[in-house]
Amino acid sequence: MKQRTIVQALVLGLAMGSFGSAAFAEGPDPDRVWVKFKPGAKAQAEQALINAGARFHYRFDDLDAFAVSVPAQALQGLSRNPNIEYIEPDVVRHPMAQTRPYGIDLVRAPQVWSQGVTGNGALVCVIDSGIHAAHEDFQGVHLAGGHPSGWNTDTCGHGSHVAGTIAAKDNNVGVVGVNTGNISLFIVKVFDGANCGWSYSSTLVDAAQRCANAGAKVINMSLGGSFSSTTERNAFQNLYDNGVLSIAAAGNGGNTQHSYPASYDSVISVAALDQNKQHASFSQRNNQVELAAPGVSVLSTVPFESASTVVDGTSYIVSALDGSYQGSASAALVDGGRCLSTGSWAGRVVLCERGDISFADKAKNVANSGGVAAIIYNNVPGGFSGTLGSGAPAIPVVSMTQEDGQFLKGNKLGKTAAVSTVPNNQGNGYAFYDGTSMATPHVAGVAALIWSANPGWTNAQIREALAVTAEDLGSAGRDNSYGWGLIRADAALAYLQGGGGGDPDPVVVPPSNLSASVLKSRGQTTGVALSWTAGTASHVDVYRGTSKVAAGITNGGSYTDGYVGAKRERVTYQVCVKDSTSACSNQVTVQF
């Protein structure tokens, strides 16, 4: 009866599209599942799936699992097959998105470059929408290869933006990434189409294993989904146990829900903050958030140019405002202040400061004055994106950073300005994006950067260094919005080199207030739920009696032990700072 209930729930979930909404007219395959077979039963399980009409996508011998599409009506029989351990949805994974970028300075990468550590020899794998390899800021960056065919192209720009934050070349054009040296990138393309769309957990596992096989020690995953997968969790734990550091986006829901793979213990979950080190309102908050990094108005590389501006022979990074007329104009540059009303701007390109009225009203004032184009620059540091809405005037309108706008106002008035909003879909584009997707490559880039100083360090050592040297933000110690805080490349490197790294929490406060309760479902015991006050350690060990049942897990303040004891059996639990037997919580005892 219990087994039938599980299968009915699985069938219902598939039928109702529980994978999430798709970005295309054709959504995710509703019949796609993970099938975990019992050890030694691969051949029998495979034959059973073939007999059921299954279509195979992946075979993972190390996980004793297949990813298949199988008719929903066949699930009942397959679930009762003695060679099959369990069946679960192959859940969907989505991309998480919305000069020297401010984030590079905020994570203190230049302080590491000054020590001669620039990422040389490191290999980072980016699992995303591919990369626009022809971009000017990737010339000279070693692309070690990728998968599948077409990995070196990018139809939506998300993967290129992520890769640029990690590795854009220091070449006097565009932007610079966290690593400026001879870092290598391996690219696995799991998203495609104009909107990136979606992929599956099995595709992600296959991608991550390809990363490891290519020799990558750091994997960047600016993606995620709302549903966990036992097989996917096992796969990332295997990668971590084999020395790989996986880093993923915490999610952009602005809530406390978990996103996966970020919320697996073996994966670093990254939250987003802005240039003022404030938590981004869209960034998810939960007990798996481990680190925070810049994720608001992050400037990086994209395949397309929505607009271009050249003033007095020099190009400036701009973006076309949504709804702007697509066209080009060239004329002398004039200062329009905040363009609050019409002015004497006939036949001129007008420089407008952001503020007081809408972008559309500024553009209309320029057009009604005979201006041929409008450049709206920010009234706070950095760039921005915006919209003109409907009824925009027939002139090109672009946005620009405060720094560039103020420079033009002070130095280039009267010079020829050429503005174009005609898109180029295979150009050397740059754009400001928001999202935990943008925060994640800052952490992946820093991990690779400091690891390049000593390839002999382990993934656990790199992870520990990033956590204990992070700048504590929000509540003291770890919290659900910032995790351990903003990563600091120079402090982490110093910590690893034995210099202490400016550890903001040199006194380790052990876990405390441990409580435990027996979990039940439909009258059956299913395990034990533990919760505690985290203290200041980044990772902890969980003990059941004298046995360590969880080693070095993220100190999120909770853990579920799947142990089911005998009737009236009493079991004692304790949580200790990783690798310590003295810095521990109180002991608690439960009775089954």
- Judge whether residue 198 has pLDDT over 90: no
Record the tokens describing residue 250, joined without a space.
């915490």
**Mean pLDDT across the stretch 377-391?**
84
Question: Confidence class of residue 27 from pLDDT cuts 50, 70 and 90?
Answer: low
The confidence score (pLDDT) of residue 229 equals 93
Tell me if the bond preceding 510 is cis, omega within 30° of 0: no
DSSP 189-224: E---STT---EEHHHHHHHHHHHHHTT-SEEEE-EE
Percent of the chain beyond pLDDT 90? 66
**Mean pLDDT across the stretch 356-375?**
94
CA 3 to chain centre: 36
Dihedral angle computed from the Cα positions of residues 485, 486, 491 and 492, in that order, rounded to the nearest 10 degrees: 80
Question: Confidence class of residue 139 from pLDDT cuts 50, 70 and 90?
Answer: very high
Q: Which of 128, 206, 274, 490 is catalytic?
A: 128
- Judge whether residue 150 has pLDDT over 90: yes
Tell which residue, 523, 505, 521, has the closest CA to residue 560.
521
Q: List Cα–Cα distances, 13 to 6, 19, 329, 445, in angstroms.
A: 11, 8, 54, 37
The confidence score (pLDDT) of residue 380 equals 86
DSSP state, residue 225: B
- Judge whether residue 20 has pLDDT over 50: no
Tell which residue, 282, 259, 286, has the closest CA to residue 93.
259
Looking at the structure, give the CATH architecture of the domain made up of residues 95-300+433-496.
3-Layer(aba) Sandwich (3.40)
Question: Confidence class of residue 14 from pLDDT cuts 50, 70 and 90?
Answer: very low
CATH topology for 512-591 is Immunoglobulin-like (2.60.40)
Question: Confidence class of residue 172 from pLDDT cuts 50, 70 and 90?
Answer: confident
Question: Confidence class of residue 362 from pLDDT cuts 50, 70 and 90?
Answer: very high
Q: Give the integer Cα–Cα distance in Å for 63 and 65.
A: 5
398 phi/psi in degrees, rounded to 5:
-130, 160
Task: Please provide the CATH number assigned to the domain covering 306-423.
Answer: 3.50.30.30
Q: Which of 132, 158, 161, 258 is catalytic?
A: 158
Give the Cβ contact number of residue 525 at 10 Å.
14
The confidence score (pLDDT) of residue 580 equals 82
C-beta separation of 481 from 286 below 8 A: no
489 phi/psi in degrees, rounded to 5:
-60, -45
Q: Write the burial class of residue 69 (CB in 10 Å: 0-12 exposed, 13-18 middle, 19+ buried).
A: middle
Question: Confidence class of residue 13 from pLDDT cuts 50, 70 and 90?
Answer: very low
Directed axis angle between helix 489-496 and helix 459-468, to 10°?
120
**Mean pLDDT across the stretch 146-173?**
92
- Judge whether residue 583 has pLDDT over 60: yes
DSSP, collapsed to helix, strand or coil, labels residue 159 as helix
Residue type at position 328 = S
Q: List Cα–Cα distances, 166 to 335, 442, 444, in angstroms.
A: 37, 6, 7
Q: Give the integer Cα–Cα distance in Å for 198 and 200.
A: 7
State which H helix or E strand residue 243 sits in: none
Question: Confidence class of residue 509 from pLDDT cuts 50, 70 and 90?
Answer: confident
The confidence score (pLDDT) of residue 390 equals 78
Question: Confidence class of residue 4 from pLDDT cuts 50, 70 and 90?
Answer: very low
Record the tokens describing residue 118, joined without a space.
């620039």
Class of domain 2-90: alpha beta
Q: Which of 437, 452, 481, 585 is catalytic?
A: 437
Residue type at position 567 = K
Record the tokens describing residue 58, joined without a space.
């992946």
* 238 contact partners, CB below 8 Å, separation of at least 6: 62, 63
Which range has the worst mean pLDDT, 211-215, 425-429, 551-555?
425-429
The confidence score (pLDDT) of residue 145 equals 96
The confidence score (pLDDT) of residue 444 equals 97
Question: Confidence class of residue 5 from pLDDT cuts 50, 70 and 90?
Answer: very low
- Judge whether residue 245 has pLDDT over 50: yes
Q: Give the integer Cα–Cα distance in Å for 494 and 500.
A: 6
Average pLDDT, the chain: 88
The confidence score (pLDDT) of residue 223 equals 94
Is 274 in the active site? Answer: no
pLDDT in tens, 46-85: 999 999 999 999 999 999 999 999 998 888 899 999 999 9
Q: Give the integer Cα–Cα distance in Å for 184 and 167.
A: 8
Which range has the worst mean pLDDT, 17-31, 91-105, 473-487?
17-31
**Mean pLDDT across the stretch 154-164?**
93
Record the tokens describing residue 325, joined without a space.
């007329």
The confidence score (pLDDT) of residue 508 equals 67
pLDDT in tens, 268-322: 999 999 989 999 999 999 999 999 999 998 989 999 877 889 999 888 888 888 8
Q: Give the integer Cα–Cα distance in Å for 279 and 271.
A: 8
Percent of the chain beyond pLDDT 70? 93
Q: What are the sequence ranges of the domains in the chain?
A: 2-90, 95-300+433-496, 306-423, 512-591
Is 579 in the active site? Answer: no
Segment of 8-12, 89-93, 133-137, 508-512 carrying the highest mean pLDDT? 133-137
Cite the beta strand spans of 201-320 per DSSP E. 218-221, 223-224, 245-249, 267-273, 289-294, 298-302, 308-311, 314-316, 319-320
Burial state string for 549-571 with b = 16 or more CB within 10 A and e = fewer than 16 = bbebbbbbbebebebebeeeeeb
Tell which residue, 356, 349, 404, has the closest CA to residue 375.
349
C-beta separation of 127 from 84 below 8 A: no
**Mean pLDDT across the stretch 552-563?**
88
Is 132 in the active site? Answer: no
Question: Confidence class of residue 214 from pLDDT cuts 50, 70 and 90?
Answer: very high
